[in-house]
Amino acid sequence: MENILLLLHPVFGGLATLAALWVFVDTLNAGESSVARIRNVSLFVAILMWLTYFLGGYFYIVYYGVDKAFIKGGPWAFGHNFFMEVKEHVFLMLLLLATYLPIAASGYLPSNKPVRKVILWVTGLIVPTSLAMEGSGAIISVAVKIALLLKMKGI
């Protein structure tokens, strides 16, 4: 169960990032035909980010304690002390930003340049922040792996 959760968390996060990139590109080239798509995919970004939050949050609360102990006792303690601490708190900001996206997109029309600008900036913030979250997750996973390998080797 916990491994499935651990897999689904970055999968949904990755899909949310791709969807946000879709909205960014679609908004850059927006026309009448893309209005509904931009609004729908914006909503999809928010849904995917909330799924990422619930799955990751459940894993963090229920299972992460064991991993945390290994990381903190291993050579890559910064995997928790910096990357996990920053990730768990910056993610809350990302969740709100993704929640805001469909609100901003709901008023979008091709003729409305100000809203277009807001959507471009919001998605332009979501994509790199999400990628930083994915990267932090990878570092945390490697930190656990290194700690476990050293334990197995008896070092």
Burial status of residue 145 (CB atoms within 10 A of its CB: 0-12, 13-18, 19 or more):
middle
Q: Nearer Cβ to other proteins, position 54 or 148?
A: 54
Cβ 154 to other proteins shortest distance, Å: 31
CA dihedral angle for residue 18, residue 49, residue 24, residue 36, rounded to 10 degrees: 110
Number of residues that bind other proteins (CB under 8 A): 33
Single out the residue of 8, 95, 139, 150 in contact with other proteins (rule: CB under 8 A): 95
Q: Which stretch binds other proteins (CB under 8 A): 27-35, 39-47, 69-77, 113-121?
A: 113-121
Helices (H) and strands (E) in the chain, counts: 6, 0
From CA 149, how far away is CA 107, in angstroms rounded? 52
Residues in contact with other proteins by CB under 8 A are: 53, 57, 60-61, 81-82, 85-86, 88-90, 92-93, 95-97, 99-100, 103-104, 106-107, 111-115, 117-118, 121-122, 125, 129
